Structure 1
């Protein structure tokens, strides 16, 4: 029996990104835990759900952008070795909790956690620790569409003063994606959804066909959008811009009314890493005695703004997931049914999110994604899952518009990354970018050592440009770490530039830098020329 054509499309876009943090000189560097937590709580759980859908013959379609810095870390042998040690320590901790806790329900929850960790360990072994390779397999089979992002997640409108720096962020990203996945990317995630007219020219130069912007970029574009954000627009050069649907974002993102705040969902902040005596944590405790989250949590949200936390109930939480998945699709169906009569094609709901929301911040998030696709496959929702690139193949004619300069985040116009606590970094980044361009033009045919120094200078500049450092400064979380990172990368860049100019390059120090900041091994500094 042929299913009737859906009246609308749903395009999930998950953006996976972490800043590059790799410290081989430290056996337990605190910020490296960001990666281990993301693998254990987000990337592996999502992969597990994707593979379950595939095994059950459910034709899910989803776009996933993977930042080059994250991709480099996921493929790094040292970090993968450290991650599996981290996972094994957590398994031992959960096993110990099962045997020593007096409360029956807590022992049950520890067992649930151990079962989950063991399942993720088995998946890690099955894919041989190659999560990007497993994503690539799903792309080849038609389930995922993998995009790239700026090389180090720089806010691109803040680089347009230096076209060479902008080109390098895009060019290095495309090259790295091609090297790691074996195919060139066709879609591009703009870091922080930050757009400025003219960026599409750089994307087109690198073979990229589309990107996502926030709602107001389309609403306030050069012409009134005929279909709002429910169909893409073509920039004058033919690159497509897809606008974020505000309703689907609000239902998942909103701190007040979003699904992750449901009182039956697991509480993110209450963790045994803060509740137990340090001695009981064993190897899971940080060697410096710093309290850190373990990911083993026994409480549910219970009440907003209250310190009273009740025990987590996994079965009730799964029931709530199914209810929320149905509620999400009911509202998307209502949207497309209301819009269908006004458009000359099925309306498109674009739902972009940070991938780390699903599993890390919202423990039940991967299950929510799975249930949405299961319910879609079961029928009755008048929606078809699709990717932006697939949409363009079906609907190659679209309105021409120049989107408005914009970003997501507070204020909607790059405010988060350019306000009082972090604006100081840009004058230094601008000067370094100008200097990198000068060096690249001055050395068209360098000797091997100078070439290595030029490529490492480019790496240090790229790492200094990461949007994460400005974001951390603004949110006042790990501020000292972010400030140190910006200053350290710029200081290394300056020392390298002075050595290149003077013809006195410290080869031993350069080798140390190449070993530590080892991403983009095939980077070509001449991108700045």
Structure 2
């Protein structure tokens, strides 16, 4: 029998970005890049493992915005155009370097990659959600949910109706797309506050993910630290992130992705190629952008971009295998040690953003493939496990009250409320109060009902934690500001028209087509929650 368990958890999330009102919006390529570099490569990795008879087990969140975009026919059509452009550029690159064998080798590498992506894309007619659902149905992947639009829940604490809406809408959306209820939830940004578990319990969720210090500072202190879940007083289990295994992958100083042989993310053909040559493949206004074709390796942590040497996928794959072996070796030693002092089977929770694997760390899917294969063939110290399965195997756990926390800077909420983004919250709070007010209404007719439902969508989209995050990082800030303001403006226009009893039907239809997330939403999900009456003596 194994001494313990390893739970690999991937969080697949992107904000809802969809602009049928424009011919081209750069931010839509966030999804297209992730499909090409992360979601399809991971899917191919999982399918290859399954075909080879490896009974792997992974937990993976797929957030409602991501699922909605992956199943949107408009975005599927635009991705088809994006992929065709990549294939065309790859073919041109093969002919563009007749005297450089290494660049021809790299161009052929990308041509082969795009061909594999095309094959998977067409096999599922663009519906990647169905492909991942097949892996859930076979027992290999346990897919969990997240909040409806990845809203930062602790900053909604004063409006329990908003928290409830984020969770319940997400669970309903999950059931619509996967044909069953979700068992677990990845809290957006792993952000937790005391009392949040009650909304999860009401939605019949069995467990959630949080950062390690949220568990370590629970009350009472968990006997087994982060190496066993705890049950909250509502009965929902909390799993805490393991710092040691996370650092090996995430750390910019000691993490695997910084190895010199791996591909350099910041040196892209879109910025390197001669302008007239690359012009058809960059922005419509002629500005350069990343294409996804990158020919150089990291080389060293201190090398300037001009000093980067040519990349070699063969040696990068070999290094990914070496790093996967190192990860497995470290988990073996870690679990042997923990099992000895705990006198029970520990579980090591290793959660990561899915987009790290393939997009930011090009070799990430190879690493995952080797990690699972080495875990299956080369060791008997631990078993890979789904989180729900672990709770079934180990139903008795300590009851604790976790600590308020997140996995952001300083471990709390500072990254999502600071001088760069604090201005959004008075507006979000006012809109939330107005939505709760609107939820009391009985729609006078079908048009008012549609307006009420669209108001709920606009509030949800404005609440996405991604906009505050982007404002803090300083990248693509104008877009994040514009998205926050546009959703709030649309919400306030709907609010005024609903109260006035005069719906601009042409405008409403246009907005419904643009912000079409959650087609089955019911605005009454925001109905006021009665607060419990506290009994006691009168003074």
TM-score by length of 1: 0.98
| Shift, 1:283, TM fit | 3.4
2:409 partner SS: coil
Distance 1:88 1:151 in 2: 32
Counterpart position of 1:455: 453
Residues 135-180 of structure 1, C-alpha deviations (whole Å, 9 max, x = no match): 0000000000000100000011111110111111011101111111
Counterpart position of 1:210: 207
1:58 partner SS: coil
Aligned length: 524
- 2:55 maps to 1:56: no
Aligned 8 A contact 1:98 1:110 in 2: yes
Distance 2:154 2:288 in 1: 38
Structure 1 residues 165-184: aligned runs within 5 Å: 165-184=162-181
Distance 1:429 1:39 in 2: 31
Residues 217-238 of structure 1, C-alpha deviations (whole Å, 9 max, x = no match): 0111111110010000000111
Counterpart position of 2:64: 68
Distance 2:354 2:369 in 1: 14
Aligned 8 A contact 1:273 1:291 in 2: yes
Counterpart position of 2:415: 416
Aligned 8 A contact 1:329 1:381 in 2: no
| Shift, 1:381, TM fit | 4.8
Counterpart position of 2:478: 480
Distance 1:273 1:388 in 2: 41
Aligned pair partner of 2:129 in 124, 127, 132 = 132
| Shift, 1:444, TM fit | 2.5
Counterpart position of 1:80: 76
Distance 1:201 1:23 in 2: 36
Counterpart position of 1:406: 405
Aligned 8 A contact 1:278 1:285 in 2: no
Structure 1 residues 117-156: aligned runs within 5 Å: 117-156=114-153
Residues 175-208 of structure 1, C-alpha deviations (whole Å, 9 max, x = no match): 1111111111110010000000111100011110
Distance 2:454 2:270 in 1: 38
Residues 353-387 of structure 1, C-alpha deviations (whole Å, 9 max, x = no match): 00000000000000100100100111325110001
Distance 2:348 2:431 in 1: 41
Aligned 8 A contact 1:65 1:189 in 2: yes
Segments ≥4 residues shifted beyond 4 Å: none
Structure 1 residues 288-303: aligned runs within 5 Å: 288-303=285-300
Distance 2:302 2:163 in 1: 43
Aligned 8 A contact 2:279 2:286 in 1: no
- 2:274 maps to 1:277: yes
- 2:517 maps to 1:512: no
Counterpart position of 1:323: 322
| Shift, 1:26, TM fit | 1.6
| Shift, 1:282, TM fit | 5.1
Counterpart position of 1:222: 219
Aligned 8 A contact 1:23 1:516 in 2: yes
2:448 partner SS: helix
Distance 2:280 2:76 in 1: 18
| Shift, 1:27, TM fit | 2.0
Distance 2:279 2:82 in 1: 12
| Shift, 1:445, TM fit | 4.2
- Unmatched 5+ stretches in structure 1: none
Counterpart position of 1:110: 107
TM-score by length of 2: 0.96
- RMSD of equivalent CA atoms: 0.9
1:286 partner SS: coil
Distance 1:171 1:149 in 2: 10
- 2:85 maps to 1:89: yes
Residues 382-441 of structure 1, C-alpha deviations (whole Å, 9 max, x = no match): 110001100000000000001000000211001110111001111110110010000111
- 2:302 maps to 1:305: yes
2:41 partner SS: helix
| Shift, 1:344, TM fit | 4.0
Aligned 8 A contact 2:467 2:484 in 1: yes
Counterpart position of 2:41: 45
Counterpart position of 1:469: 467
1:451 partner SS: helix
Aligned 8 A contact 1:93 1:282 in 2: no
Aligned 8 A contact 1:499 1:505 in 2: yes
Distance 1:449 1:161 in 2: 31
Aligned 8 A contact 1:10 1:386 in 2: yes
Aligned 8 A contact 1:65 1:188 in 2: yes
Distance 1:378 1:27 in 2: 50
| Shift, 1:212, TM fit | 0.8
Aligned pair partner of 1:491 in 484, 489, 492 = 489
